Amino acid sequence: MKTVENETSFEFKENSWINFYNKHGWVVIDGALSPKILESTLSEWESLKSRCAEDMGLSIEEYQLEISQWRDLWTNDGTFKELIFGPHLHKLAQDGMGWNGSRLLHDHIICKPYQGSNKKIPWHQDSMFWPVDIPGCSTWTALMTVALEDGCLEVVDKSHLEGCENPVDFMAKEREEFPEDSVRVRIPIKEGSTILLHSLTWHRSSPNLGNHDRPAHIGLWVHPDAKWRPDLVDWHPVNEYVESTPGSRLEGERFPSFGEIEIVTPPEVDIHAGTIRYNDISMFDASKIIGKQLATISGAGGGIVDVLSDSTNIDVIISKTIDREFCDDAEAIRAALNRLWVSYSAYHLHRARNVYNDAYAHWWELAGSKWNDELMDV
């Protein structure tokens, strides 16, 4: 696959970007956020991280080593809400998709730190992860300037024209095969600029090899009459907030709509075949599988955060793991369990997580897969 660096961008008030977007499945819009909004967003994000770390009794350094994604930021008052309810981002989505209205599925910040948990996010399409029946788009806004070495977004040009595949598991092997004539575009971007990305466009990001963090605010936008299909993506966290019935319009307080709601006929063929789990563990249900596993090993009741907050339970898990010769390093087991506690607690308290699923993958490699084999035989 040929690789090129993007050199094309458009001003926010231009309309010529729409044709580029429809042809390529992505476009860079400069100046989507004003310097004032950008500064305020970064300030509120830093404050949010500090509050979250304090809630968990961690230093900000310890917290940032593990946590790289913060969801549903718009539900906080202040700039995060202004980003969504202001005139810019949802209007970009509407204009790019040719809609008269739009609906927010959710928003988040994903940060690729230059220190701490920092990996490649594999090739994927956003639509394969969304529990709705038709494609949409996302607004990917750089909160700091992103150079090539900073883990910039990469896209397969014009891949939005090829349809949607089943959900990709980030804990499994990455897709590497694309048509021979495909073009990979690497997209460096200035702070405050936005990449409008079609939800069928294949994209990924490489590790951040720069000298500063790479935070991006991402809004996920669907048609305001998109139908809720939890059967296709049964694991998605937004499912718990939907206030409508499967197959009807996605609605609820967590999914604000903008502009007009035009009726669209559901497609005759499903957008994809649904989530298929090929391995004993996947990113779709790793937290549930490992949570149930650790509760069983410890013999403790209550939620997994409670289990991992009790030093007695930790000692029991360590002792049993060593007795079974799954791992003979008590401190390595303790460190892995602490990483799991950080991940579970961050999501339970603040809907924040490690986007790479590192803590789950680390435990599974250290001892979890062996425990899984034993418990499945019981």
**Distance, CA of 314 to CA of 297 (rounded, Å):** 10
For residue 159, is pLDDT > 90?
Answer: yes
Give yes or no: residues 255 and 341 share one domain.
no
Residue 35 sits in the same domain as residue 182: yes
Per the structure, the count of domains in the chain is: 2
Would residue 271 count as lying in a domain? no
Q: Which domain holds residue 368?
A: 286-377
**What tokens were used for 282?**
């996947």
Tell me how far apart the 2 most distant CA atoms of the chain are, in Å.
66
Position 177 scores a pLDDT of: 87
Round the average pLDDT of the chain to a whole number and report it.
94
Give the residue from 162, 169, 160 showing the smallest Cα distance to 123. Answer: 169
pLDDT of residue 271: 96
- Whether residue 252 is found in the same domain as residue 344: no
Name the band, by pLDDT with cuts 50, 70 and 90, for residue 378: low
Q: Is residue 266 in a domain?
A: no
Residue 269 forms part of a structural domain? no
Q: Is the pLDDT of residue 13 over 90?
A: no
Distance CA 204, CA 151 (A): 9
Mean pLDDT of 287-293: 93
pLDDT of residue 302: 77
Regarding whether 200 and 308 lie in a shared domain, the answer is no
Provide mean pLDDT across the span 48-52: 97
- Domain identity same for 57 and 118: yes
Indicate whether 191 and 308 sit together in one domain.
no
Mean pLDDT of 360-366: 96
**pLDDT band at residue 324, thresholds of 50, 70 and 90?**
very high
Q: What is the pTM of this model?
A: 0.95
pLDDT reported for residue 172? 85
- Whether residues 250 and 303 share a domain: the answer is no
Check whether residue 362 and residue 252 sit in a common domain.
Answer: no
Quickly state the pLDDT bin for 342 (edges 50, 70, 90): very high
Same domain, yes or no, for 223 and 367? no
Q: Are residues 322 and 236 in the same domain?
A: no
d(CA 22, CA 27): 9
pLDDT band at residue 129, thresholds of 50, 70 and 90?
very high
Query: Is the pLDDT confidence value at 118 over 80?
Result: no
**The pLDDT of residue 114:** 83
The pLDDT of 21-29, averaged and rounded, is 98
Give the pLDDT mean for 235-250.
97
Mean pLDDT across the stretch 172-178?
A: 85
Residues 53, 95 within the same domain: yes
What confidence score (pLDDT) does residue 116 get? 67
Residues 312 and 249 in one domain: no
